[in-house]
């Protein structure tokens, strides 16, 4: 038997987190992004306000999220439909802890944290890539961004799919930051 005939087992998740920043004292970019316009569309319209983009690779899939995902797949929990990471339940959370992520984490750890709902048209899927996007407006999450998660409730009570730590600066009033999370399943 050749190596081409041997099936490789394993599910791989490749995660990329993207932060786009805008100077936005009047909330125009925030409104456009929350309605579902793409970051590129908003950049084209408000190019003078665009500050830049940062990308973060990787994360840790959390046990609580993986267990919930399995329950949804096998329909083990009648409440699973309420706990999906879909348009009505999904939030992106940011916090200010730089404590390294581990599979047993149950969410954000920092003293400061904020959860924002999905922007219009999110989450979405293209091929084997699932994408979530939330916009944090002028009055949202104004603290050091150190940790990130996708959660299925607007509070710490939800199940976190993943967690990533990376220092990405301090958001202040007058700025709008958008977080996009792309997870490729292979």
Q: List beta partners, residue 80.
A: none
Q: How far apart are CA 48 and CA 46, in angstroms?
A: 6
- Check whether 73 has a pLDDT greater than 90: no
Predicted confidence band of residue 172 (pLDDT cuts 50, 70, 90): very high
pLDDT, tens digit, 9 for 90 and up, residues 55-69: 999 999 998 888 888
pLDDT, tens digit, 9 for 90 and up, residues 19-38: 999 999 999 999 999 999 99
Neighbours of 160 (CB within 10 A): 25
- Check whether 53 has a pLDDT greater than 90: yes
Phi-psi group of 76: left, alpha or beta (phi > 0 → left; psi -120 to 50 → alpha; rest → beta):
alpha
- The reported pLDDT for the residue numbered 24 is 98
Q: How far apart are CA 125 and CA 162, in angstroms?
A: 18
Residue 24 DSSP label = -
- The reported pLDDT for the residue numbered 10 is 79
Give Cα separations from 66 to 70, 138, 147, 149 (angstroms): 6, 33, 19, 13
Residue 80 DSSP label = G
Q: How far apart are CA 151 and CA 121, in angstroms?
A: 17
- Check whether 6 has a pLDDT greater than 80: no
Which residue, chain included where needed, has tokens 């329909």? 75
CA angle 76, 90, 151 (to 5 degrees): 75
Predicted confidence band of residue 80 (pLDDT cuts 50, 70, 90): low
Residue 8 DSSP label = P
What are the residue boundaries of the structural domains of the chain, listed by start? 13-185
Q: What is the average pLDDT value for the chain, to the nearest integer?
A: 92
pLDDT, tens digit, 9 for 90 and up, residues 104-151: 999 999 999 999 999 999 999 999 999 999 999 999 999 999 999 999
Question: Does 135 or 8 have the greater pLDDT score?
Answer: 135
Predicted confidence band of residue 5 (pLDDT cuts 50, 70, 90): very low
């Amino acid at each position: 038997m050749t190596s081409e005939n041997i099936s490789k087992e394993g599910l791989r998740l490749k995660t990329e987190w993207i932060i786009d920043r805008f100077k936005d004292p009047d909330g125009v970019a925030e409104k456009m992004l929350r309605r579902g316009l793409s970051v590129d569309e908003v950049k084209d319209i408000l190019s003078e306000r665009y500050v830049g983009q940062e990308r973060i690779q990787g994360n840790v899939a959390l046990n609580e999220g993986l267990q919930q995902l399995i329950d949804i797949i096998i329909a083990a929990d009648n409440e699973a439909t309420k706990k999906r990471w879909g348009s009505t339940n999904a939030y992106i959370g940011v916090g200010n802890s730089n404590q390294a992520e581990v599979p047993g984490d149950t969410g954000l750890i920092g003293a400061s944290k904020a959860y924002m709902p999905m922007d219009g048209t999110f989450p979405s899927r293209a091929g084997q890539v699932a994408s979530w996007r939330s916009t944090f407006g002028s009055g949202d999450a104004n603290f050091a961004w150190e940790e990130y998660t996708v959660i299925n409730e607007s509070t710490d009570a939800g199940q976190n799919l993943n967690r990533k730590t990376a220092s990405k600066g301090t958001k202040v009033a007058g700025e709008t930051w958008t977080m996009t999370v792309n997870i490729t399943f292979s």
